[in-house]
Amino acid sequence: MFRLNRLVDYGVVLMSHIAAHTDRRFSAPGLASDLGLPVPVVSKVLKGLVHRGLLTSYRGAKGGYRLGREADAITVADIISAIDGPIALTHCIEDSDGTCGIESLCPQRGNWQIINHAVRNALADIRLSDLTAPLPPFFEPPLSKGGKDVTPL
C-alpha cells in the first residue's frame, strides 16, 4: 500500500488551516487545539515547514506562524518534501543509499523513475490554494432529505 506518513498528513492539514486564515497568526498550541492534534507533533511539523520556508515564525506576544509564501506558490509536493524529504517511491529512485543489492542491475529501475516522476509531478500540480477552495459539487456526498449523508452504492 502506498501511504503518506502521519506527519505529512498533519503537515497538509496544518498548512491548509493556516492558508484558509491568512489574516491570523497561529501558535502551535492554538493550532493543536483548533485541529485536535497533539501539541508536540504540531510543533515538530511546524519546525520542518519553517525550515523549508513554507511558514514564517514570529516571536513575541503577537508572534506565531503564517505562510512563508502565497498559497498559490506552495504545492503539496513542497509540503511532503519539507516533512519527509524527497519524494521517492522506492529506495533506488532518489539519493540511493545502496540498500538494494541489485540496484545497479535492476531492469525496473528506469520504470520506477517514470512512475516516481509522474507521482511527483501530480503532487506538484496541486497548490495549497486548491486545498482551501470549496469542493466542487461532484466531490461532496449527496444529502438525504433528513440532512444526513448518504453514501452512493
- 25-46 confidence digits (pLDDT tens): 999 999 999 999 999 999 999 9
Count Cβ atoms within 10 A of the Cβ of residue 114 and give its class: 0-12 exposed, 13-18 middle, 19 or more buried: exposed
CA–CA dist 139, 121 (Å, integer): 22
**Residue 97 pLDDT:** 54
Q: How far is 8 from 41, CA to CA, in rounded Å?
A: 11
Q: What is the rounded (10 degree) CA torsion for 51, 57, 59, 60?
A: -160
pLDDT at 62: 82
The domains found in the chain, sorted by start residue, are: 6-134 (1.10.10.10)
pLDDT score at 76: 96
pLDDT for 1 equals 55
Grid coordinates standing for 95?
539519493
pTM recorded for the entire structure: 0.78
Strand runs labelled E in 31-100: 55-58, 64-67
Taking the chain (153 residues) in consecutive chunks of 10 residues, what is each chunk's mean pLDDT?
A: 85 95 93 95 96 94 92 96 85 58 63 84 94 73 57 51
Three-class secondary structure of residue 143 per DSSP: strand
- What pLDDT, on the 0 to 100 scale, is given for residue 99? 59
pLDDT the model gives residue 72: 95
pLDDT given for residue 148 in this prediction: 56
pLDDT value at position 129?
94
Residue 77's pLDDT is: 95
Q: What is the spatial distance between Cα 15 and Cα 79, in angstroms, rounded to a whole number? A: 8
Task: Measure CA of the first residue to CA of the last residue in the chain; give whole Å.
Answer: 24
